[in-house]
Chains A and B, each alone.
Chain A
Amino acid sequence: MSRIGVFICHCGENIAATVDCPRVAREAASMPGVVHSVDYEYLCSDPGQSLIKDAIREHRLSGVVVASCSPRMHETTFRRAAAEAGLNPFRCEMANIREQCSWVHADREQATRKAVDLIRMMVHKVARNESLCPIKVPVNKTALVVGGGIAGIQAALDIANAGHRVILVEREPSIGGHMAQLSETFPTLDCSQCILTPRMVEAASHPNITLHVYSEIESLTGFIGNFEVKIRNKAKSVDLGLCTGCGACTLACPLAGRIGNEFDRGLGKRGAVYIPFPQAVPHKPVIDRAKCLRFQAAQKKGIPVQDCSVCGKCADACPIAPRKAIDFSQEDVIITEKVGAVVIATGYELYTGGRPRPGDRYAGCGEYGYDDYPDVINGMQFERLASASGPTQGRILRPSDGLEPQTVVFVKCVGSRDNAKGFTYCSKVCCMYTAKHAMLYRHKVHAGRAIVFYMDVRSPGKGFDEFVRRAIEDDDACYIRGRVSKITREGGKLLVQGADTLSGEQVEVMADMVVLATAMTARHDADELARKFRAAYDKDCWLTEAHPKLRPVESATAGVFLAGACQGPKDIPDSVAQASAAAGKVLVLFSSDELQREPLVARVNRTAPPQYSTCTGCFACKAACPAGAIEVEDITDKAGNTVKSVARVNEGVCQGCGTCVAACRSGSIELCGFTDEQVFAQIDAL
Chain B
Amino acid sequence: MIDQLRQRARELLTTGEAACIIGYADASVPGKATPIVITRAEDADRLVFHAACCNNLAAYLTRPEIRKLGTVAMVAKPADVRAAFVLMQENQVRPDDVKFIAVDVTPAGECTLLAQRTREELLDYLVKNVPPAELADDALKDVAALEEQKDGERWHYWQQQFSRCIRCYACRQVCPLCYCSRCVADKNRPQWIETSAHGRGNLAWNITRAFHLAGRCVGCGECERACPAGIPLMKLNRKLAKDVRDSFGGHAAGYAFSGEQLFAGYSPSDPNDFFE
Contact = CB atoms under 8 A, between A and B. Distances in A.
Contacts of B263: 620, 663
Contacts of B260: 623
Given A617-B92, A666-B182, A666-B183, A623 B192 contact: no
Contacts of A676: 189-190, 192
B187 interface: yes
B215 to A, nearest CB: 11
Contacts of B106: none
A222 B259 CA distance: 24
B180 A614 contact: yes
B264 A620 contact: yes
30 contacts: A611-B181, A611-B182, A614-B181, A616-B92, A616-B179, A617-B92, A618-B90, A618-B91, A618-B92, A618-B261, A619-B91, A619-B264, A620-B90, A620-B261, A621-B264, A622-B264, A623-B261, A623-B265, A645-B91, A663-B263, A665-B184, A665-B212, A666-B187, A667-B182, A667-B192, A668-B182, A676-B189, A677-B190, A680-B192, A681-B190
Contacts of A622: 264
Interface string B179-223: 111111001011010000000000000000000100000000000
Contacts of B261: 618, 620, 623
A645 B189 CA distance: 24
A604 to B, nearest CB: 13
**SS class, residues of chain B in contact with chain A:** loop
A616 B63 CA distance: 12
A627 interface: no
Interface of A: 611, 614, 616-624, 645, 663, 665-668, 676-677, 680-681
A666 B172 CA distance: 13
A617 to B, nearest CB: 6
Given A618-B92, A667-B187, 17 more contacts: A611-B181, A614-B180, A616-B181, A617-B92, A619-B91, A620-B264, A623-B260, A623-B264, A624-B265, A645-B91, A665-B180, A665-B184, A665-B212, A666-B182, A666-B187, A676-B190, A680-B192
Complex A-B, nearest 7 residue pairs according to Cβ-Cβ distance, in ascending order: A623-B264, A680-B190, A614-B182, A666-B180, A620-B264, A618-B90, A667-B184
A666 B192 CA distance: 12
Interface string B139-179: 00000000000000000000000000000000000000001
Contacts of B92: 616-618
Contacts of B189: 676-677
Interface of B: 90-92, 179-184, 187, 189-190, 192, 212, 260-261, 263-265
Contacts of A620: 90, 261, 263-264
Nearest to B266: A624
Nearest to B178: A665
Nearest to A683: B190
A616 B190 contact: no
A645 B92 CA distance: 10
Contact of A666 (B181, B190, B264): B181
A666 B90 CA distance: 13
B257 to A, nearest CB: 14
A124 B157 CA distance: 36
A663 B183 CA distance: 14
Given A667-B192, A677-B189, A680-B192, A616 B264 contact: no
B200 to A, nearest CB: 14
A321 to B, nearest CB: 57
Contacts of B183: 666
Contacts of A681: 190
A663 to B, nearest CB: 6
B82 to A, nearest CB: 17
Nearest to B259: A623
A663 B264 contact: yes
A618 B212 CA distance: 13
Nearest to A680: B190
A500 B89 CA distance: 70
A620 B177 CA distance: 14
A618 B93 CA distance: 10
A632 B269 CA distance: 30
Contacts of A668: 182
Nearest to A626: B266
Nearest to A607: B182
Contacts of B180: 614, 616, 665-666
Nearest to A618: B90
A673 to B, nearest CB: 16
A622 B89 CA distance: 13
Nearest to A667: B184
Which of B91, B190, B261 is the most central at the interface, judged by chain A CB atoms within 10 Å of its CB?
Answer: B190
A391 B14 CA distance: 86
Contacts of B182: 611, 614, 666-668
A622 B264 CA distance: 8
A619 B179 CA distance: 14
A510 to B, nearest CB: 52
B70 to A, nearest CB: 12
A667 B263 CA distance: 15
Contacts of B264: 619-624, 663
A397 to B, nearest CB: 51
B264 to A, nearest CB: 4
A676 B188 CA distance: 11
A344 to B, nearest CB: 24
B50 to A, nearest CB: 34
A681 B189 CA distance: 11
Nearest to B191: A680
Contacts of B212: 665
B237 to A, nearest CB: 15
Nearest to B90: A618
Contacts of B179: 616
A663 B90 CA distance: 13
A645 B181 CA distance: 13
B94 to A, nearest CB: 10
A420 B92 CA distance: 56
A668 B182 CA distance: 9
Nearest to A660: B264
B72 to A, nearest CB: 18
A681 to B, nearest CB: 8
A660 B63 CA distance: 25
Contacts of A667: 182, 184, 187, 192
A663 B212 CA distance: 10
A501 B179 CA distance: 76
Which of A616, A618, A620, A621 is the most central at the interface, judged by chain B CB atoms within 10 Å of its CB?
Answer: A618
A473 B261 CA distance: 70
A611 to B, nearest CB: 6
A676 B187 CA distance: 11
A158 to B, nearest CB: 39
B191 to A, nearest CB: 8
A617 B87 CA distance: 11
A621 B182 CA distance: 17
B258 to A, nearest CB: 12
Which of A614, A617, A667, A676 is the most central at the interface, judged by chain B CB atoms within 10 Å of its CB?
Answer: A667
A670 to B, nearest CB: 10
A657 to B, nearest CB: 13
Contacts of B187: 614, 666-667
Contacts of A618: 90-92, 261
Nearest to A625: B264
B83 to A, nearest CB: 14
A620 to B, nearest CB: 4
Nearest to A621: B264
Contacts of A621: 264
Nearest to B189: A677
A665 B187 CA distance: 11
A667 B185 CA distance: 9
A619 B261 CA distance: 9
A618 B91 CA distance: 5
B211 to A, nearest CB: 9
A562 to B, nearest CB: 25
A665 B208 CA distance: 9
A662 to B, nearest CB: 10
